[in-house]
Chain A
Amino acid sequence: MQVPASVDYERATSLSHAIELLERHGPEARIVAGGHSLLPMMKLRLIQPEVLIDINDLSELSYIKIEGNELRIGAMARHAELLSSPLVGEHFPIIVEAEKVIADPIVRNRGTVGGSLCQADPSEDLSAVFSALKAKLVIQGSHGSRTVDATSFHDGPYSTVVSSDEILIEVKIPIRPGCGCAYEKVERRVGDWAIAAVGAAVYIEAGVIHDAGIGLTAVGSEHFNAPEAEAYLAGKSPSPELISEAARLAAENCHPSADQRGPEDYKRHLVQVLTERALTTSVERATRGGF
């Protein structure tokens, strides 16, 4: 029987109340949203917070909308909501493809976007997606909000730049012309964490990739990205050879480690194959026809 250690419980009624509770209880307090990453870790006693601050009543953080040229996702949006959102499907198939392979439908009913990001599991899928899409993350504290790039959100495994009196409130994804994006994941069984997964986004205008994003997860990329491959693609015309070389660079520069999901060379191989596939699909989507 798995039971969390003793913990106190508070329920926040608003964003400002949540921040006030965080300030009052200090660094031993943890926000709980869906709880589907946090509670399993508490059951295993890998995390023992003194206080849980439940933010499930914060409907103000539960939205998916377009504002200006950005898709904005509130931190309390559930995985199932992201998966079924027509706005998300229209603009970012990468998100839909990733969400389909995150856990299972019942877990997705409960798990949240903000919770997944803040849990910061090194095998987490949305971190790679938001890296590829060069999303911005909005973090709120009592003295105002700040915005950080998705690629500078993590400062280590299970660790983020959100401090103990702050809360992640929103993900902002730029909607830019000529975008094509895709997600590719290999898992041991349905709903498992990735052995390796790759998200890609390319922005093509007049036959040239003017920007590219490649997100990696589960392969030791601290910021869930592949900057060498991204830089290589920028300013060039898409071709199978170009994509192969970018995939090679992504595989060469990541840092997978051997574990029960496979040896290092296998994971590196996966990164190469999956990057190639994700980029090829992204180019097809951006140009509605391919090379």
Chain B
Amino acid sequence: MHVKMIVNGKEYESEIEPRLLLVHFIRDELGLTGTHWGCDTSNCGTCVLWMDGIPVKSCTVLAAMANGRVIRTVEDLETGGQLDPVQQGFMEMHGLQCGFCTPGMMMTARWLLDHNSNPSETEIREAISGQFCRCTGYENIVRAIRWASEHQDASAESTKVGEVVA
């Protein structure tokens, strides 16, 4: 079947099998490999992206169901060479080690901060409770999201993409 959707502000069209999962469409058809493919059972949350402004687990959505919808992936967080405060927070607070869960964590964090600019630690932990991290014990992820909430205007001072961090 033919699908058309807007991903990170750009329109894409493709012929797909209806059984194709959205995560594979995004990664394999569009080459946007920032969205990770993890447990495949809607448990781990590394495949979280936004569909029509709502975070969803893209391993449990068919690409066909995303036809005509608006998708936002982790690649869209950085704009004009400036990291999103959430990305900056993960860097500042060492919010990742292996990095596998990070794209999903950041997409959920961005959505949380868009709807609650000053979340408590409990609210942050609740928001990411559908996502697994096997490295950090979550402490630094929570700190990273707190950092982002305290530096929402940090884009001006944030690290430029590609800049070497001393």
Contact = CB atoms under 8 A, between A and B. Distances in A.
Interface residues of A, number: 29
A7 B64 CA distance: 11
Interface string A218-257: 0000000000000000000000000000000000000000
A5 B18 CA distance: 10
Contacts of A7: 18-19
A35 B60 contact: yes
Nearest to A106: B130
B61 A107 contact: no
A6 B17 contact: yes
Contacts of B56: 106, 109-110
Nearest to A36: B60
A9 B42 contact: no
A43 interface: yes
Contacts of A36: 42, 57, 60
Contacts, number: 78
Contacts of B41: 2, 40, 43
A107 B130 contact: yes
B130 A104 contact: yes
A109 B42 contact: no
Interface of B: 1, 17-19, 21, 40-43, 45, 48, 54-57, 60-62, 64-65, 67, 108, 126-127, 129-131
6 contacts: A7-B19, A52-B64, A54-B65, A105-B129, A110-B60, A190-B129
The 6 closest A-B pairs by CB, nearest first: A104-B130, A9-B18, A106-B130, A9-B64, A4-B19, A2-B40
Interface of A: 1-9, 11, 32, 35-36, 39-40, 42-43, 52, 54, 56, 103-107, 109-110, 190-191
